[in-house]
């Protein structure tokens, strides 16, 4: 398997674990939005769990959960003080880059990995949809397919 593909699997897994910690830690920045942020963290955790079989399949060794939690916490602290709606909209725009990256990862995947990676892409689309809906943008109702 191509080294670049396997490295991106590892990065995606680590990104989801750190992402869950990030949304968990953000509850301290936005305590009145705790429920929404818990749902985002749960989506990240579920996605990490779905990626775990690929981590094992390729014999990858992720960074420890403790280290990834510190990364997520540090990233969350960087958001301190941002207005909630601006935070949501800017995040949703930034996450579009992840969708493009995950689609590219799907395209290079062997057939047997594509279902898991399809979910990886779908979760990002769903996260963006939720953030846009939470920010009050019109036309953001419903749930993304595959999530």
Q: How far is the CB of 44 from Fe ion (least distance, A)?
A: 5
Stretch binding Fe ion (CB under 5 A), from 16-24, 29-37, 66-74, 133-141: 16-24
Helix H, strand E, coil C: the string for the chain is CCHHHHHHHHHHHHHHHHHHHHHHHHHHHCHHHHHHHHHHHHHHHHHHHHHHHHHHHCCCCCCCHHHHHHHHHHHHHCCCCCCHHHHHHHHHHHHHHHHHHHHHHHHHCCHHHHHHHHHHHHHHHHHHHHHHHHCCCCCCCCCCCCC
Q: What token pair was written down for 79?
A: 């958001």
Q: Does 72 bind Fe ion (CB under 5 A)?
A: no
Q: Does 19 bind Fe ion (CB under 5 A)?
A: yes
Of 44, 113, 126, 134, which one interacts with Fe ion (CB under 5 A)? 44
Stretch binding Fe ion (CB under 5 A), from 38-46, 72-80, 86-94, 109-117: 38-46
- Whose Cβ is closer to Fe ion: residue 19's or residue 72's? 19
Q: How far is the CB of 93 from Fe ion (least distance, A)?
A: 15
Residue nearest to Fe ion (CB): 19
- Whose Cβ is closer to Fe ion: residue 43's or residue 109's? 43
Residues that bind Fe ion (CB under 5 A): 16, 19, 44
């Amino acid at each position: 398997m191509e080294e670049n593909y396997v490295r991106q699997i590892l990065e995606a897994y680590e990104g989801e674990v750190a992402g869950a910690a990030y949304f968990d830690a953000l509850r301290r920045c936005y305590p009145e939005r705790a429920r929404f942020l818990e749902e985002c963290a749960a989506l990240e955790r579920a996605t990490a769990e779905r990626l775990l079989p690929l981590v094992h399949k390729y014999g990858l060794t992720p960074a420890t959960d403790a280290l990834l939690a510190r990364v997520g916490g540090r990233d969350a602290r960087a958001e301190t003080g941002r207005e909630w709606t601006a935070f949501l909209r800017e995040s949703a725009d930034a996450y579009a880059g992840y969708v493009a990256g995950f689609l590219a990862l799907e395209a290079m995947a062997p057939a047997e990995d594509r279902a898991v990676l399809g979910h990886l892409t779908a979760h990002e689309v769903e996260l963006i949809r939720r953030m846009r809906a939470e920010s009050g943008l019109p036309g953001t109702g419903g749930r993304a397919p595959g999530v």
